[in-house]
Structure 1
Amino acid sequence: MGIKRVLVGLTAVVLVTSAVAACGCRGTDPWGGPGPWGGPGPCGSHWRGEDSAQRRAYMVERVSQALSLNVGQRAKLEVLADQLDEQRQALWGERQGMAADLQQVIAGERFDRVKAQSMVDQKLQTVQQHSPKVVDAMASFYDSLDAGQQRVVREKLRDRFGDRK
């Protein structure tokens, strides 16, 4: 598989993940939820690992309310949330293993480039495996929105990410 295809897939995943993350894990929730970092919103101190289902439900509810989603649109948002959660679990599910691997990379006098590259390749392979489902779910959800809802999503993303260069 060519590097161009890998980069396109990785870029798509980053964009999709960023779009969903724009639902509010920093500052004020752009969908109208609670405030600053660490507050009672989806990324506050009580929204950790075992509460991922609760965080997911919160995010789906906030987006559903902000966009006034109908039943079909909400179902597509649920599928997107499922796909993102599945990818997140695949990428970060075994954190202890990843931490041990990282310790091995820096254990010696020299940085273990081969081991580090192997770790990166493994993550890229995971992204490549999951990104088609994530992109399809995001496209299905976005395409189900009417023009006004799509405009709101674009505005929220622009407000969230601005003109980063």
Structure 2
Amino acid sequence: MKPWFKRSLFGFAGAALLAGSLAGCSGHRHGWGGGYTEQDRAEFRARMVERVSSKLELDATQKQKLDVLARKIQAQRAALRGDGDPRAEFRALFAGAKLDQERAKKLVADKTAAVQAGSPEVIAAAADFFDNLNPAQQQKVRDFMERRRRRGRG
């Protein structure tokens, strides 16, 4: 299996399962993160949907459901990032002589609230997509996730 397909599918599955968690605020630049325009993110999403669609041999309805999932994941990540620079927010906690515990607690609370607010939509979109795959397609997803899990242990 091609490495870009593995990364693509893992990105969708991982984000759906973890609802972005703290990855949304880490500032990674994988096409979904900060520093990209809305048009860049839309183009990246379209490419990912096309790649996954071709590998899983999705029909038009399944492809549309995958696109909905990708949009929900992007929206969740944007909510986690917030308006500012996540890395600057994190660095600010260590700017003084002591860790700013109150600011850290507020940051965690804000990110947790964003996860709780957006997770039901991401989970529903992931379920709608996965549940509408045929058994062979579902097995391809499981196989991919299993290979990623084993590779991560090594």
TM-score range, shorter chain: 0.7 to 0.9
Q: Write 1 or 2 for the structure with the bigger share of helix.
A: 2
Question: 2:60 maps to what in 1?
Answer: 71
Deviation at 1:157, TM superposition (A): 1.2
Q: Which residue of 2 aligns with 1:59?
A: 48
Alignment RMSD (CA, Å): 2.6
1:68-102 deviation line (CA, Å, top 9, x unaligned): 00111111111101100110111124243x34433
% same residue: 36
Runs ≥4 in structure 1, deviation > 2 angstroms? 93-96, 98-104
Structure 2 alignment gaps of length 5 or more: 1-11, 19-28
- Name the structure 2 match of 1:80: 69
Q: Which has the higher contact order (CA 8 A, sep 6+)?
A: 2
Deviation at 1:103, TM superposition (A): 3.9
**Structure label with greater radius of gyration:** 1
TM-score where L is the length of structure 1: 0.68
| Structure 1 portions without partners, runs of 5+ | 1-13, 21-41
Match of 1:153 in 2: 141
SS in 1 for 2:76: helix
TM-score (norm: length of structure 2) = 0.72
Task: Give CA deviations for 1:87-135 in whole Å, capped at 9, x if unaligned.
Answer: 0111124243x34433432121110111101101100000000000000
Inter-partner Cα distance in structure 1 for 2:92 and 2:30 = 30
Distance 1:129 1:16 in 2: 18
How many residues in Structure 1 have an aligned counterpart in Structure 2?
127
